Amino acid sequence: MNTSQQTVPLYRLAHSRTGDKGNRSNISVIAWHPALWDLLVEQVTEAAVARHFAARQPSAVRRYLLPQLHAMNFVLDDVLDGGVNDSLNLDSHGKALSFLMLDLPVAVPDALRTHLVGGP
């Protein structure tokens, strides 16, 4: 079957918040609409997120699924340069990382386009 699709940033499918504990960051990805959930599970994978955060060199990326909430939780190890007490970063908590996550590209089939938020 040949369906057309477009690639959009994750922020059109989901919202996100970052938390930190030590040198570990957790980043939630929460679907704007339940209809987008399967697509997120399929494309916003541990491998895709590890690639997207390659510049921060995570030693591990784990994904936890919460289908009842249409939400997933990513845990990225060793991405905070030691964490809030050791990092030289202005954002030593890594608070801004949720918006790095939200730039991850997702290919969306036409049938789901009506559920996208914002954009053209």
**Nearer Cβ to another protein (2/116):** 116
State the minimum distance, in angstroms, from the CB of residue 111 to another protein: 22
**Nearer Cβ to another protein (1/88):** 88
**Nearer Cβ to another protein (17/51):** 17
State the minimum distance, in angstroms, from the CB of residue 44 to another protein: 14
**Nearer Cβ to another protein (14/39):** 14
Residues that bind another protein (CB under 8 A): 11, 15-17, 19-22, 24, 26, 28, 30, 55-57, 64, 66, 68-69, 71, 73, 75, 81-91, 96, 100, 117-118
Q: Which residues pair with 66 in a beta bridge?
A: 71
Ordered DSSP codes for the chain: ----EEEEEGGGTEE--EEEETTEEEEEEEESSGGGHHHHHHHS-HHHHHHHTGGG--SEEEEEEEGGGTEEEEEEET-STT-TTT--SSSTT-TTHHHHHTT-EEEEEGGGGGG--S--
State the minimum distance, in angstroms, from the CB of residue 68 to another protein: 6
